[in-house]
Amino acid sequence: MSTKKIIFHILILFLAFSTKAQDAIYTGKVDSLKAKSVEVYRQTFWDNLPKPLNWTNDYENLFSDEEEIKLNQIISDFEKETTVEIAIVTIDTLKVSQENFEDLTLHIARTWGVGKKEKSNGILIAISKGYSQIRIQNGDGIALVLSDEETAEILQNQFFPYFKKEEYFVGTQAGLLKIMELLKTRLK
């Protein structure tokens, strides 16, 4: 093989490795920019929470329109009967990191003012299918009549069995109705 051919092959190899290195650097920059964009988006969502449109605010599209209407009607009827306000929110993974999910749910409950202020009788049910998480935030007035242990039991017995089968509406409705059943007997 001539010296020119050897130099040519070395040059080709050098260019190939150089291109791969540039691709890796470029991809790293893209990933870094992507991560920063997600964090900016999450912070913007936190700082500018949308106002609730109804009792159910489905940002993860877990429920059909008919299911949302049904949940809203159940909650509205219960609120008229008891004054207890219950909000349901589904949150996709783009809006919050898994570590901050619980903090966001509390922030939403406070910002939206779930519950009558003088009674602190609000409940926020927050669901993230993407993180397989659910959090129930009880207002102080609700915590007096519905313990953390009872809330955990409702999650275990009503929500989770259906969520495991990806039947989010059925599980949410079952959990909601159980919460309402317990509260009706205790808020008289």
CATH of the domain at 143: 3.10.310.50
- Judge if 44 and 65 occupy the same domain: no
What pLDDT, on the 0 to 100 scale, is given for residue 36?
79
> Region 90-96: what's the mean pLDDT?
92
Give the range with max mean pLDDT: 1-10, 19-28, 50-59. 50-59
**Range(s) of the domain holding residue 129:** 56-186
- Judge if 124 and 88 occupy the same domain: yes
- Judge if 37 and 127 occupy the same domain: no
- Judge if 12 and 69 occupy the same domain: no
Cα 3 to Cα 19: distance, rounded to the nearest angstrom = 24
- Judge if 42 and 134 occupy the same domain: no
- Judge if 71 and 159 occupy the same domain: yes
Question: In whole angstroms, how far apart are CA 112 and each of 28, 108, 157?
Answer: 39, 6, 28
Query: Would you call 119 helix, strand, or coil by DSSP?
Result: coil
- Judge if 122 and 33 occupy the same domain: no
160: number of Cβ within 10 Å = 15
Sign of the Cα torsion 172, 175, 180, 181 reads positive
Tell me the pTM: 0.81
Structure confidence by residue, pLDDT tens digits, 53-82 = 999 999 999 999 999 999 999 999 999 999
Tally of domains in the chain: 2
Rounded percentage of the chain residues whose pLDDT exceeds 70: 81
- Judge if 83 and 149 occupy the same domain: yes
In which band, very low, low, confident or very high, does the pLDDT at 25 lie, cut at 50, 70 and 90? very low
- Judge if 21 and 104 occupy the same domain: no
- Judge if 18 and 100 occupy the same domain: no
What pLDDT, on the 0 to 100 scale, is given for residue 86?
97
- Judge if 170 and 111 occupy the same domain: yes
In which band, very low, low, confident or very high, does the pLDDT at 2 lie, cut at 50, 70 and 90? low
